[in-house]
Amino acid sequence: MQTLEHIALQLAGYDPQALSADMVNAFLAKLVVPLSDAESVPIFQALGRVLAQDVISPLSVPPHDNSAMDGYAFDGAQLLPEQTLSLRVLGTALAGNAWQGGVAAGECLRIMTGAIMPAGLNTVVPQELVSSAGDNITIPAGMLQAGDNRRFKGEDLMQGQAALLKGELLTPAALGLVASLGLQAVPVLRRLKVAYFSTGDEILSLGQPPREGAVYDSNRYTVFGLLTRLGCEVIDLGVVRDTPALLQAAFVQAAHQADVIITSGGVSVGEADYTKMIMKKLGDVAFWKVAMRPGRPMAVGQIMRNKLASSAYPVCTDSYEHNSKSEGSAILFGLPGNPVAVMVTFLAFVRPALLRMMGCTASKPPLLKACSSEAIRKKPGRTEYQRGIVSTAPDGTLQVKTTGNQGSGVLSSMVQANGLIVLHHSQGHVTAGDTVDVMMFDGVI
């Protein structure tokens, strides 16, 4: 793995005191390395996992030409412009039971959706389009063309074709596709292990009585939700007080147990914050001031496990054999302490980096375009992530408005919002009616 200094030298204009959002993501893309350990899991356990290798279709889907609907199958060559067609019904072809007889000109078969198309038949007329009398049907002129309503063998996938590619995230639709191939298990990369803890003497855990100057820890639960939604194996280390020995013990334990360590609080300029000191002591860490709002202070780096082997602090590694070896490193993300800033920096920077570590090829969600229904003040020179409410305008286009107060401690605004209005680094004030980019929350938080 590269050192932070080596990565910084590769990035033109790198300035840790004034990093753009784009520069942060460029740095992290060079820092993190995808997992390589793979396992095979049953399909019911594969949701949200990342494929370790291509899934090759062992059969064609569908395996035969078949009917796309309930109707009557016949040879479409008999259709003539501006002429009705009368056919005699020989029998019925059911799904799962191939028709064994032959069908001549002037004849047809009643056929059910999914039933195999008999040899020589290539067209299906929906049953609601015909008129029938006894064993005969009549098809009105101009209602369909030869080949209509037939699904071809391999129309979805041909045998030997890649059905899913390495690095794809297994969605509900992907599970259905795997099942359609008759596969009971899929090869996936192991889950990313992420250890997380909050820092600060002012933080209360749930169940503790309120006290003056203290606040209940919300970051621990929002980050837990973000990591769980992402499919990570979360190692919750709770709240760690502003005591050097306790902080060092937490970092050592996290580094031995996890691939990634995430903290909230303790990376700003506060004199009582020991977190930065311990990070520097244990690892190769950079402290950034990111040109963004909300957020700004952020730490990123890596803690080398071989440097921790002689630590005097106890390490519980019984359940985490893969990472308990004194080798390799754990990636470190030190996030700000304000609740909204934690979530925004996670969505903007940490989530794409974690997806890359998970081996996922699609690490950044697309930005949608929406029309701002209000003016928004914005200074060029920083990226702003304003909480927004996206809705559909009367003309069918997307529109967005802010949730109001954009303070980094207004956590209720993240509940009201369904996306972040992304105002880019060089962008200035937005007037009502301007088009803006929006990062939607659906499926993310």
Name the pLDDT band for 197 (thresholds 50, 70, 90). very high
Least confident of 96-100, 164-168, 282-286, 401-405: 96-100
Q: Is the separation of the CB atoms in 370 and 392 below 8 Å?
A: no
Q: How far apart are CA 419 and CA 402, in angstroms?
A: 10
What CATH number was assigned to the domain covering residues 42-61+155-189?
A: 3.90.105.10
Tokens of 437: 């980019």
CATH fold group of domain 4-37+190-357: Molybdenum Cofactor Biosythetic Enzyme; Chain A (3.40.980)
Q: Is the separation of the CB atoms in 254 and 261 below 8 Å?
A: yes
Task: Given CATH 2.170.190.11, say whether it is the number of domain 66-151.
Answer: yes
Mean pLDDT of 49-77: 97
Mean pLDDT of 67-85: 96
Q: How far apart are CA 348 and CA 200, in angstroms?
A: 24
Q: How far apart are CA 395 and CA 385, in angstroms?
A: 26
State the DSSP H helix or E strand holding residue 344, giving kind and residue range, or none if neither: helix 339-345
**For the chain, what's the residue count?**
445
Supply the pLDDT for residue 271: 47
338 three-state secondary structure: coil
- Beta-bridged to residue 93, according to DSSP, are 111
Q: How far apart are CA 117 and CA 110, in angstroms?
A: 11
- Beta-bridged to residue 289, according to DSSP, are 297
* DSSP string across 198-257: EE-TTEEPTTSPP-TT-EE--HHHHHHHHHHHHT-EEEEEEEE-S-HHHHHHHHHHHHHH
Tokens of 353: 């980096």
CATH fold group of domain 368-440: Beta-clip (2.40.340)
Domain ranges across the chain: 4-37+190-357, 42-61+155-189, 66-151, 368-440
The dihedral built from the CA positions of residue 91, 93, 94 and 100, taken in this order, carries a sign that is: positive
Comparing 313 with 199, the larger pLDDT belongs to 199
Residue-wise pLDDT tens digits, 261-319: 999 988 876 545 688 889 999 999 999 999 999 999 999 999 988 777 554 444 444 44
Radius of gyration of the chain (CA): 30
- H helical segments located in 61-214: 172-180
Least confident of 30-39, 40-49, 208-217: 208-217
Q: How far apart are CA 292 and CA 432, in angstroms?
A: 22
Picking from 329, 342, 315, 325, the residue whose alpha carbon sits closest to that of residue 248 is 315
Residue-wise pLDDT tens digits, 131-185: 999 999 999 999 999 999 999 999 999 999 999 999 999 999 999 999 999 999 9
Q: How far apart are CA 149 and CA 89, in angstroms?
A: 18
Supply the pLDDT for residue 2: 86
Supply the pLDDT for residue 313: 46
The dihedral built from the CA positions of residue 243, 249, 252 and 257, taken in this order, carries a sign that is: negative
Question: What angle do helix axes 275-282 and 244-257 make, rounded to 10 degrees?
Answer: 50
Picking from 294, 302, 330, the residue whose alpha carbon sits closest to that of residue 423 is 294
Supply the pLDDT for residue 321: 43
Query: How much is the mean pLDDT over the chain?
Result: 92
Q: How far apart are CA 116 and CA 96, in angstroms?
A: 8
Q: How far apart are CA 336 and CA 355, in angstroms?
A: 21
Tokens of 179: 């099942």
